[in-house]
Amino acid sequence: MKNPIRILLQTTIPTTEDDWHIKRFSLLHEHLASLKDEAGNPLCEVTARDREVNGGGDDPVLSALDKSDTEKGCPSFVEEAPGDGYQREPHALRDIKTYVRNAALWLAATN
């Protein structure tokens, strides 16, 4: 069994309920965490978190990322207001899930 890819999903802001906190990315988190290989083993181990600040003003995870066991991560900047687009256009959600699965499989192949 191949070890799952360790992925970090992190916002660049502290938890703020009326802004882009990590809970707004729950579908991405859940989808990545649900991906399985042919044997049913998880493809990804996902950590999802908002930015935190330590005494030095740094995020403790990001400031030590080079020393962590996280293998993959990608900064994301979202500026679109929340809406009901996926309810109105369910094919768009399917497209995103297909893209994420393909990206996860591609990343897994680079290990």
Instruction: Give the tens place of pLDDT for each residue, 16-42.
Output: 877 778 888 888 899 999 999 999 999
Query: Who's near 34: CB < 8 A, 6+ residues apart?
Result: none
What value, to the nearest 5°, has the Cα angle with vertex 73 and ends 63 and 12? 55
Structure confidence at residue 79 as a pLDDT band (50, 70, 90) = very low
Q: What is the pLDDT of residues 55-74, one digit of tens each?
A: 888 878 877 776 777 766 65
Q: Does the global pTM surpass 0.75?
A: no
Q: Let me know: does 9 contact 47? Beta carbons within 8 Å.
A: yes
> Six-digit token pair at 4?
């799952």
Measured CA to CA in angstroms, residue 61 lies from 10, 48, 52 at distances of 10, 11, 8
